[in-house]
Amino acid sequence: MNIGILAVQGAFIEHEQILQKLGIQSMEIRCREDLKKPFDGLIIPGGESTVQGKLLKELEMFDTIKEMIEDGMPVFGTCAGLILLAKSLENDSRTHLGTMDITAVRNAYGRQLGSFYTEEDFADVGKIPMTFIRAPYIKSVGKDVEVLAKADGNIVAARQGNQLVTAFHPELNSDTRVHSYFIDMIKRM
Ligand code: GLN
């Protein structure tokens, strides 16, 4: 198994480190050519969704990644990655890849509560640590989307077929179980 990690901006190194802990090989996806190499799933990290979306276009990776996801490539978006995958954004007219049937709210917790930590249940996994940094949450989901976790009544993790998203950053805690969930998801597909 080899996981591609989008490495144009944001917290990609932390994902590499978690996968390393799990004994899973990974490679950084930085340019168009990298998308031609074989990999079994893609992680889109946290960072700044507007910057990542712009860079994907400038580097001419946007359409290829969108097609790959639509063709069933497993993808895991964290925080900004969730925003990139969301079909609609409640407070932003710019959407990006738009492959997942969710409506997200950017910077949903406001300035006061920009960053916080909590522990909540994650489907089939149990209580996990959740670190939020200027995070979005999911306001609503389409009928094919399974809600995996909530925090404070808001949806913070979900899955639609080959697509997994978390509003929090599982790569910033030592707990590897959400990444294991993604790896299992790939194995079962
Ligand atoms: N606030 C960022 C955005 O809108 C996401 C923050 C993050 O990825 N930690 O893209």
CATH code for the domain in which residue 110 is found: 3.40.50.880
* Sign, CA torsion 76/81/83/88: negative
Q: Which of 14, 16, 79, 96 is catalytic?
A: 79
Answer whether 131's CB lies under 8 Å from 168's CB.
yes
Task: Report pLDDT digits (tens) over 136-182.
Answer: 999 999 999 999 999 999 999 999 999 999 999 999 999 999 999 99
Nearest CA to ligand 1 atom 8: 46
CA of 74 to the centre of ligand 1 (A): 21
For residue 112, what are the domain limits? Answer: 2-188
Q: Which of 15, 96, 169, 179 is catalytic?
A: 169
pLDDT in tens, 68-85: 999 999 999 999 999 999
Contact 138, 82 (CB under 8 A): yes
Sequence-distant (6+) residues with CB within 8 A of 152 are: 118
Q: What is the pLDDT of residue 113?
A: 64
At 112, the pLDDT band (50, 70, 90 cuts) reads low
- Indicate if 31 belongs to the active site: no
Confidence of residue 28 (pLDDT cuts 50, 70, 90): very high
Q: Residue 38 has what pLDDT?
A: 98
Q: What integer is the mean pLDDT of 73-98?
A: 97
Number of domain units in the chain? 1
Burial class (CB in 10 A: 0-12, 13-18, 19+), 36: exposed
Q: For residues 54 and 152, what is the distance between their CA atoms, to the nearest angstrom?
A: 32
- Counting from 1 in the atom list of ligand 1, the atom nearest the Cα of 107 is 1
Pairing state between β 41-44 and 75-78: parallel
Q: First vs last Cα of the chain: how many Å apart?
A: 13
Ligand 1 neighbours by CB, cut-off 6 Å? 46-49, 79-80, 83, 106-107, 133-135
Contact 136, 153 (CB under 8 A): no
